[in-house]
Structure 1
Amino acid sequence: MDEPALYLIPVTLGDTAIDRVIPPFNNEIVTRLTCFIVENVRSARRFLKKCDPSIDIDSLTFYELNKHTDKSRLAEYLSPMAAGTSIGVLSEAGCPAVADPGADVVQLAQRKGYKVVPLVGPSSILMALMASGFNGQSFAFHGYLPIGDDERAKRIKSLESRAYSEDQTQLFIETPYRNHKMADDLLRICKPSTRLCIAMNVTCDDEYMVTKTIGAWKNSLPDMQKKPCVFVLYKG
């Protein structure tokens, strides 16, 4: 690693075997790094140990980046790069900087002219789109929808309208313990002919990716309690 780089290192989406979703090349990079910017230190240490059981975790430097982090500290987090040291960025799940606070440090690295290297790994958003059977030429990811009933209803209607008027696939997520409320709202608000894919526990042993019309989903929803889901909406 001659030129220092900011490596964006995907992690498993659940309790999945490393070799099922993470390329060996990623492990080669991981074992050569000594500095990491992570969403959660404990889970990052656990992931790195899965990558290489012989790794000396206590010799590594961790900077925590999450919703509680003071953004003014990001320059400090990148300071090792000025001294020629590469840094790895780890999310809690999936790809860093996608629906993830890691985007802030990537933006700063780009502004400073540092090399940024995204590594291959699982993305629940793209894998849900792949499995849905919906339009993969035009799609939009919206993250979390509003919690309030009125605002959420308006947003769902707006996304459904875009699916029809723009021929665009709409993707969004929900906090796992509110998955059933999200699904119930979709069944109540959307047209019976509108199609919905529920992608749950992506890449895990109990992975579930099923597409049905809103009408067909009624009385047939899976158990989504506390399971990470991506909801994918498209025209009928």
Structure 2
Amino acid sequence: MTLYLLPNLLGSNLDHSLFLPISVDHAVSTLDGLIAESEGGGRRYLKQFSTKKKPHEMPIALLKSSAQKNELDFLLEPVINGENWGVVSDCGLPCLADPGAALVRRARYHNLLVHTFSGPSSITHALVLSGLSGQSFHFHGYLPKEPKERAKTLKVYEKTLRTTHIFIEAPYRNLHTYQACLDTLKPTTLLSVATQLTTPEEWIQTAPISWWRTQKEISSKIMKKPTIFLFTAEK
């Protein structure tokens, strides 16, 4: 019947009623099953809500980023047959830097009803809180892992003036990415670093690269913590 794209919290031990609209509670209460990145993450999500079935009894199907059309169609089969299923990421919104887009595309192919909700997104939260341009921005996902390619990519992005470039990194690689920005970007380029958004430990700072190069305590703030990087070259 309906495929619900469900927002999730950006941190653990948070009250979902403070961040998610009440319409999400209603949608989850109608679910016959859930499509998730991981079974554990899916079960933890369901435990926050009142559900038709007990969370440990709710069918959970796993969505792989490499799923092919036949696998996606298999996931959608219950919806095609008249059931309500949800899609949830381990954090944030499905389809934004997370699996889900291909599944929604197949749902459109089958003319299924797809519904989404407003909710936390580290990408948009970081952009709004950074003070950088929200009129022209580009989300790039992950930077290349190889140092030379990473530096080359940053230089290419920096040539696009007055555009906010946004990228993410695996938490254990945050320091590599941060240092690459300091080593590669111009002193006048504005860099924003946002970590642990919406949690009590939230921290965000925006300043020229020249300022960041003088800071000695940044590593402890971002090491192995979910972090978003943004920068804008203004000249």
Worse-superposed segment, 20-29 or 60-69: 60-69
Deviations 1:182-213, CA, capped at 9 Å, x for gaps: 11110010001100110101111101111011
CA distance in 1 between partners of 2:57 and 2:212 (Å): 51
Aligned with 2:89 (options 88, 91, 98): 91
CA distance in 1 between partners of 2:64 and 2:32 (Å): 20
The secondary structure found in structure 2 opposite 1:50 is coil
Question: After the TM superposition, which residues 136-215 of structure 1 pair with which residues of structure 2 at under 5 Å, given as runs?
Answer: 136-162=134-160, 164=161, 167-215=162-210
- 2:59 corresponding residue in structure 1: 61
Are positions 1:45 and 2:43 aligned together?
yes
- 1:11 corresponding residue in structure 2: 8
Following superposition, the deviation at residue 55 of structure 1 comes to 5.6
Q: 1:33 to 1:53 in 2, by over 3 A?
A: closer
CA distance in 1 between partners of 2:227 and 2:10 (Å): 11
The secondary structure found in structure 2 opposite 1:42 is helix
- 2:99 corresponding residue in structure 1: 101
The two structures, once aligned, show a CA RMSD in angstroms of 1.6
CA distance in 2 between partners of 1:145 and 1:71 (Å): 28
Native 8 Å contact 2:31 2:52 kept in 1: no
Native 8 Å contact 2:139 2:165 kept in 1: yes
Question: After the TM superposition, which residues 94-133 of structure 1 pair with which residues of structure 2 at under 5 Å, given as runs?
Answer: 94-133=92-131
The secondary structure found in structure 1 opposite 2:48 is helix
Unaligned runs of 5+ in 2: none
CA distance in 1 between partners of 2:94 and 2:24 (Å): 14
Unaligned runs of 5+ in 1: none
CA distance in 2 between partners of 1:132 and 1:59 (Å): 42
- 1:73 corresponding residue in structure 2: 71
Following superposition, the deviation at residue 72 of structure 1 comes to 2.6
Are positions 1:217 and 2:208 aligned together?
no
CA distance in 1 between partners of 2:85 and 2:52 (Å): 20
Q: Percent identity?
A: 36
Following superposition, the deviation at residue 138 of structure 1 comes to 1.1
TM-score, normalisation: structure 1: 0.92
TM-score, normalisation: structure 2: 0.93
